[in-house]
Amino acid sequence: MQDLKLINAIKHDDENAFEVLFKKYYANLVNYINVYTYHKSTSEDIVQQLFITLWTKRKELNITKSVKGYLYTVAQRDYLDYYRSLKRKDTFFDELKEIAVRNSIDEDEDIVNRKIKRLKEIIDTLPPKCKEILELNKLSGLKYQEIAKHLGISVKTVESQMRIAYQRIREGFENDLSILFFLKEFISI
């Protein structure tokens, strides 16, 4: 019952209750997620994000039974989301490589790998919000409207940030028409 009182207090913006809940479950949740990730800092990131979301969406909390069960279920779901995003990221770049190879048979694998490395570098130089929006769209598979809702911004802002990302990618490969050909299958250039 104590945990439900904490949740109720958190719903009413009680930071002390949040801190008590955090201290009570944080270490155990990290250890639980670490069983899956085998990487402590990744496990910490996942659990920290769980608590950040818990606080930011505190007004929407509707936990009526086990708070512990809720936290462990959310932590496991967040880990699965993280794992899927890693797989999508790997798949995205593997597919880019495959398309490049198919469409540029004359190019050797070294050249293709350099192009993919260059693409990653360009993406890493994007402004943080722009990069996040591009990754949510291309790596997580979210539609513009879903991204806007997720980030609490307008669809027009998402479209604008995607245009900036596409422009930077085009500029980064302005002398390489072959890269533009295979990128076209992933982004509207």
**What is the pLDDT at residue 158?**
92
Domain range list for the chain = 2-82, 104-183
CATH 3.40.50.11720 fits 104-183, yes or no: no
pLDDT at 129 over 90: yes
In angstroms, what is the C-alpha Rg of the chain? 21
Spatial distance between the Cα atoms of 187 and 184, rounded to a whole number of angstroms: 5
Cα separation of 137 and 158, whole Å? 10
pLDDT of residue 75 exceeding 70 = yes
pLDDT of 102: 54
What is this structure's pTM?
0.47
The CATH number of 2-82 is: 1.10.1740.10
- Helical H segments across 13-172, by residue range: 15-37, 40-56, 67-103, 109-125, 128-138, 144-151, 155-172
